[in-house]
Each structure stands twice: as C-alpha cells, then as structure tokens.
Structure 1
C-alpha cells in the first residue's frame, strides 16, 4: 500500500485522469518495492478513504520528477506476463 495525493480531472463526457505524488517520501526499501511493482505491472487498485480494499483499477505512469499519472484501466483483466533477468 502506498498513500498517494491525487487531483482528478474529467471532461464533459466523463472521461477522467488524475495526477499525483506519493503522500510521503519513500524510503529506500519502499522505493525499491515501488520500482519492482511498477516494472512487474503498472496496474493498481485505488482505494479511497473509508474503503477497505478495491475501488478503481488504474494504470500508473511515473515521470522522472516523481509525478504520477493515473488513467482508468477498464480493459485490464488482472493477468500479466513478466520476464525477469535475475543475473
């Protein structure tokens, strides 16, 4: 789990997107975990305050300056194919 402060924008037809940042600076271990998850699959479930789990599935892209862009991922089925080079 990572706390993220986001700002959501939508257009006239209801398409939305969001930008944000981690609510707190990630320590070394958290950064390594975040980078690992992003490399595995950049899809996350956004849970809003007051919700136990779940919510909206989003695709997350992180810019070099740490800005996160979140877009809804309605076509994502929860599966991913990842190849790691552990050498």
Structure 2
C-alpha cells in the first residue's frame, strides 16, 4: 500500500468512525512481514488504554472470528472494546 492508498483508507475509516459516533484516533498499520509481532504490540498498547472501539477495514484483517485465540478473540479480551468492521 502506498501513501495515497493509506490516506484513502484512513479517510474511509474516519468516515466509518463518525457514522458510529466515534472519532478516529491512532491508525495501526501492520505489514505481512511484521505479523504477528506488530499485532502483539497493538495488543500491548490497548491493554493500557481505555479504548471504546477498534475499527478494522475488513473482517479478514483479524482472520477467523470463531476460533479461541484468534486475533479477534485476543482483541476482544485485551481491549474490551467494540470491534467495528468498515467493510462487510
């Protein structure tokens, strides 16, 4: 993803946040070579913050939602936040 595409995604996420009565804060960008380390850094950051919602571009960004220990499951446990999916 180049800078223009990233800007477009951030703009879209900000629009989705507004529709849900939220304000977009920090955008976490994970690259395939940094997975799962970058996701673990995100979880560590969320563990120390009071975050009411996490917005993800698509469900696929968190993998399978029905497995214990999945990224979705870990995000729910650590952040205790609403997970908003920007694209169905």
Tell me if both proteins adopt one fold, taking TM over 0.5 as the criterion.
Answer: no
Structure whose residues are more often strand by fraction: 1
Structure showing greater relative contact order (alpha-carbon pairs closer than 8 Å, 6 or more residues apart): 2
TM-score (norm 2): 0.29
